Amino acid sequence: MSRKKKFTKKIELKKAETKEVLQPKPKSAKETPQLVRGMKDILPAEQPYFEFIRNTLENFAKDYNYEKIDPPILEDTALFVRGTGKYTDIVEKEMFSFLDQGGDNLSLRPEFTPSIARAYINHGMLNLPQPIKLYSTGPVFRHERPQAGRLRQFHQFNYDILGDSHSVLDAEMILMANKIFEKLGLAVSMQINSIGCSSCRDSYKVKLTDYYRSMRSKLCENCKSRLARNALRLLDCKEESCLALRSGAPQILDHLDEDCKNHFTRTLEYLDETNVAYNLNPYLVRGLDYYNRTVFEVWPEEGTSGAQDALAAGGRYDKLVEILGGRPTPAIGFAAGIERVISRLRSLNIVPPAKERGEIFLAQLGESARRKSLILFNDLINQGFGVSASFSKDSIKAQLEVANRLGVKITLIFGQKELLEGTIIVRDMDAGVQEIVDQKKLVGFLKRKLGKEQALT
Compose the 123-162 pattern: x for residues touching ligand HAM by CB under 6 A, - for all others. Answer: -------------------x-x----xxx--x-x-x-x--
Reference 360, options 418, 277, 428, 261; nearest CA is: 428
The footprint of ligand HAM on residues 75-114 (CB under 6 A) is 111-113
Burial of 26 from C-beta contacts in 10 A (0-12 / 13-18 / 19+): exposed
When asked if residue 313 is in the footprint of ligand HAM (CB under 6 A), the reply is yes
User: Where does 308-415 have alpha helices with state H?
Assistant: 320-323, 338-347, 367-382, 396-406
When asked if residue 311 is in the footprint of ligand HAM (CB under 6 A), the reply is yes
Closer to ligand HAM at the Cβ: 309 or 359? Answer: 309
Please state the φ and ψ torsions of residue 453, each to the nearest 5 degrees.
-55, -45
User: What is the smallest separation between the CB atom of 159 and ligand HAM, expressed in angstroms?
Assistant: 7
Compose the 321-350 pattern: x for residues touching ligand HAM by CB under 6 A, - for all others. Answer: ------------xxx-x-xx----------
Closer to ligand HAM at the Cβ: 339 or 359? Answer: 339
Q: Which residue minimizes CB distance to ligand HAM?
A: 337
Tell me the torsion sign for CA atoms 15, 21, 22, 24.
positive
Closer to ligand HAM at the Cβ: 200 or 313? Answer: 313
Which residues, in sequence order, are CB contacts of 302 under 8 Å at separation 6+?
A: 187
When asked if residue 318 is in the footprint of ligand HAM (CB under 6 A), the reply is no
By CB under 6 A, the count of residues binding ligand HAM is: 24
Q: Helix (H, G, I), strand (E, B), or coil: what is residue 358?
A: coil
Closer to ligand HAM at the Cβ: 341 or 380? Answer: 341
Please state the φ and ψ torsions of residue 45, each to the nearest 5 degrees.
-65, -25
- Distance CA(443)–CA(456), nearest Å, equals 10
Q: Which of 71, 83, 85, 314 binds ligand HAM (CB under 6 A)?
A: 314
Give how far the C-alpha of residue 244 lies from the chain's centroid of Cα atoms, to the nearest Å.
Answer: 33
How long is the chain? 457
When asked if residue 46 is in the footprint of ligand HAM (CB under 6 A), the reply is no
Residues at the site binding ligand HAM, with contacts judged by CB under 6 A: 111-113, 142, 144, 149-151, 154, 156, 158, 160, 310-314, 317, 333-335, 337, 339-340
